[in-house]
Amino acid sequence: MYPSLLRALLFVALGSFTAATAAEGDSIRLTIDAARPGARIDRNIFGQFAEHLGRGLYEGVWVGPESKIPNTRGIRNDVVAALKAIKVPNVRWPGGCFADEYHWRNGIGPRDKRPATLNPNWGGVIEPNTFGTHEFMDFVQQIGADAYISINVGSGTPAEAADWLEYLTTPQPTELAKQRAANGHPAPYPVALLGIGNESWGCGGSMTPDEYVNHLRVYARYARNYNTAQPMRRIAVGPDGGDTGYTEAVMKAWKNKTWAWDIEGISLHSYTVVKWPPAFKATGFGESDYATILKATLNMESLVSTHSAVMDQYDPQKKIALVVDEWGAWLAATPGSPEGFLEQQNSQRDALVAALNLNIFARHADRVRGANIAQMVNVLQAMIFTKQEKMVLTPTYHVFHMYVPFQDATLVPVELAAGTYKSGEIELPRVDVIAARDSAGKLWLALTNLDPNRAADIELAGARVSRANGQTLVAPKFDSVNTFEAPDVVAPKPFTAKASGNKLPLKLAPASVTVVSLE
Ligand code: AHR
């Protein structure tokens, strides 16, 4: 354990941070401008992504009704309870690359009659199709989330997509609605979000921007929502990282659109990966890796700004949302895990990765109105790991839990001059912070101390507050992880602070994430 963090942890344990580990006089002034509220932080930036990939759905969510693992209609109860607690706003499904090879008819009807197909993208395994449309809709309803369905543009047809939407959403007694009723669901399903393809520049068909736009017009026309009780937002495929080709082409097409089609969003995919294939270790890494990954993740700021600027040229009123529907750390796979299953551990560093990205999305709340971390269970930067009947929550899960008060809260501007954290050639902001006011009028702060060697003494000024209450996520080491044997190594601890005079001191442990409400 690095000594400064050991000291900080002792202070947490003793319920006091007063003997700060930062140098004397090193306090950092934070000002909140509560009189100048910003945009609403759309709860959909806390969305999840669940692809047919490895153990993400099979075992991670679906165990089948006959399983000894406690379940409701085949969906594991422990995972549902954990996801309900973080108030998941929406789940994107069935992919990912899988979506552009998925044929929805394989996943309806009696489960024992469904065909075995292949999953060529992810390990070439058999796809049993036991988790299909009804199982997914049951799952999102159990966790209280909206459905974000990605239709197959790469290898499907407009007719297949149109039929799926009719099957899902029509209240009228059509042949497809009768099939839906015969399969157990007479009422139409709500589909809040529709992805029109996935990574059409890559695994979704290797299309040029103009080729994709030709497909987009057709699919956006025919994949209709018939459920008037649930408006549906259509999300077009957008950029791969910093390439603005898709952003330009889709936004230009939208600006010149006719009455016959429309979209409400454009997606951005960007992983924190440094270089392909992903080689950065998920645990057992040193400070240089720690700083390199945090630097890479902060690049999200420039990506969002770049694409927002392009979008502003065509859509200054910001009608079209930028939806970062795949993001997160993509690290070296867990040694011994099956090829193509994308299993990786999740450390305190990844908790900081999550917090920093959520802060970026919140600061761009006027344009970024959706995001989906990849992926929900057992895959990439997951919330949850399962091993048969066991379940463990990751450090990233805890960040999502701590950030619940920011869902649909109103951004409040802050000013902070915290200086930098340096590691070798890398220089990063030392502390990152967002503030927001919830619908009950309460002010919330989320503070990330990026520096793994120094605590940060924040002094809040400019707001009349007497105390702060909340939680802090600190860990013995920045690469600490939770395991099935030791599930609570990284877990939030209570955090309180009292004002003295008109200043509120907030002592942030090294490499920590803290969320507090102000009273
Ligand atoms: O999340 C894993 C994969 O990453 C998705 O299937 C694909 O869309 C992206 O390249």
Query: pLDDT (tens digit, 9 = 90+) per residue, 128-172?
Result: 999 999 999 999 999 999 999 999 999 999 999 999 999 999 999
**Which residue minimizes the CA distance to atom 2 of ligand 1?**
96
Q: Which two tokens stand for residue 239?
A: 């950029």
**Which residue minimizes the CA distance to atom 5 of ligand 1?**
96
Instruction: Check whether 17 has a pLDDT greater than 80.
Output: no
Residue 51 Cβ contacting ligand 1 at under 6 Å: yes
Between the CA of 51 and the centroid of ligand 1 the distance, in Å, is 8
463 pLDDT band (50/70/90 cuts)? low
Measured between alpha carbons, how far is 385 from 170 in angstroms, rounded to an integer? 36
CB 469 within 8 A of CB 405: no
Q: Which residues are catalytic?
A: 199, 326
Residue 101 Cβ contacting ligand 1 at under 6 Å: no
Q: Which two tokens stand for residue 138?
A: 């049951």
Task: Give the DSSP per-residue string, 286-346.
Answer: -HHHHHHHHHHHHHHHHHHHHHHHHHHHH-TT--SEEEEEEEEE--PPPTTSPTTS-----
What per-residue confidence (pLDDT) applies to 20?
A: 30
In terms of DSSP bridges, do strands 426-429 and 467-473 run parallel, antiparallel, or are they unpaired?
Answer: unpaired
Between the CA of 97 and the centroid of ligand 1 the distance, in Å, is 6
Measured between alpha carbons, how far is 468 from 277 in angstroms, rounded to an integer? 43
Tokens 């009228």 found at: 172
Nearest-atom index, ligand 1, CA of 375: 1
What per-residue confidence (pLDDT) applies to 36?
A: 87
What per-residue confidence (pLDDT) applies to 1?
A: 36
pLDDT tens track for 264-289 = 999 999 999 998 999 999 999 999 99
Residue 119 Cβ contacting ligand 1 at under 6 Å: no
Name the residue among 190, 214, 183 with its Cα closest to residue 200: 214
7 pLDDT band (50/70/90 cuts)? very low
Instruction: Check whether 2 has a pLDDT greater than 70.
Output: no
Residue 344 Cβ contacting ligand 1 at under 6 Å: no
DSSP assignment letter at 364: T
Let me know if 343 is exposed, middle or buried by CB neighbors in 10 A (0-12, 13-18, 19+): buried
**Which residue minimizes the CA distance to atom 9 of ligand 1?**
96
Residue 94 Cβ contacting ligand 1 at under 6 Å: no
Percentage of residues of the chain with pLDDT beyond 70: 95
Between the CA of 269 and the centroid of ligand 1 the distance, in Å, is 9
Q: What is the mean pLDDT of residues 391-404?
A: 98
What per-residue confidence (pLDDT) applies to 25?
A: 45
Measured between alpha carbons, how far is 128 from 20 in angstroms, rounded to an integer? 56
For the chain, the straight-line distance linking the first and the last C-alpha, in angstroms and rounded, comes to 34
The angle at the Cα of 52, spanning 48 to 56, to the nearest 5 degrees, equals 60
pLDDT tens track for 215-261 = 999 999 999 999 999 999 999 999 999 999 999 999 999 999 999 99
DSSP assignment letter at 116: P
Instruction: Check whether 4 has a pLDDT greater than 60.
Output: no
175 pLDDT band (50/70/90 cuts)? very high
461 pLDDT band (50/70/90 cuts)? confident
Q: What is the mean pLDDT of residues 391-409?
A: 98
Between the CA of 199 and the centroid of ligand 1 the distance, in Å, is 8
What per-residue confidence (pLDDT) applies to 462?
A: 67
Measured between alpha carbons, how far is 281 from 344 in angstroms, rounded to an integer? 9
In terms of DSSP bridges, do strands 420-423 and 47-49 run parallel, antiparallel, or are they unpaired?
Answer: unpaired
Between the CA of 453 and the centroid of ligand 1 the distance, in Å, is 34
Q: Which two tokens stand for residue 194?
A: 């529709």
Phi, psi (rounded to 5 degrees) for 311:
-60, -35
Measured between alpha carbons, how far is 417 from 46 in angstroms, rounded to an integer? 28
Residue 326 Cβ contacting ligand 1 at under 6 Å: yes
Q: What is the mean pLDDT of residues 83-110?
A: 98
What per-residue confidence (pLDDT) applies to 347?
A: 98
Q: What number of other Cβ atoms are within 10 A of residue 85's Cβ?
A: 14
Between the CA of 24 and the centroid of ligand 1 the distance, in Å, is 47
Residue 267 Cβ contacting ligand 1 at under 6 Å: no
Nearest-atom index, ligand 1, CA of 380: 1
Residue 96 Cβ contacting ligand 1 at under 6 Å: yes
**Which residue minimizes the CA distance to atom 6 of ligand 1?**
96
Nearest-atom index, ligand 1, CA of 95: 6
Between the CA of 431 and the centroid of ligand 1 the distance, in Å, is 31
Residue 264 Cβ contacting ligand 1 at under 6 Å: no
Percentage of residues of the chain with pLDDT beyond 90: 92
Within 13 Å, how many C-alpha atoms sit on residue 301's CB side? Answer: 14
- CB contact set of 378 (below 8 Å; sequence gap of 6+): 54, 55, 56, 59, 60, 341, 343, 384, 385, 386
**Which residue minimizes the CA distance to atom 8 of ligand 1?**
96
SS3 readout for 32-84: ECCCCCCCECCHHHHEEECCCCCCCCECCCECCCCCCCCEECCEEHHHHHHHH
Q: What is the mean pLDDT of residues 179-204?
A: 98
What per-residue confidence (pLDDT) applies to 163?
A: 98
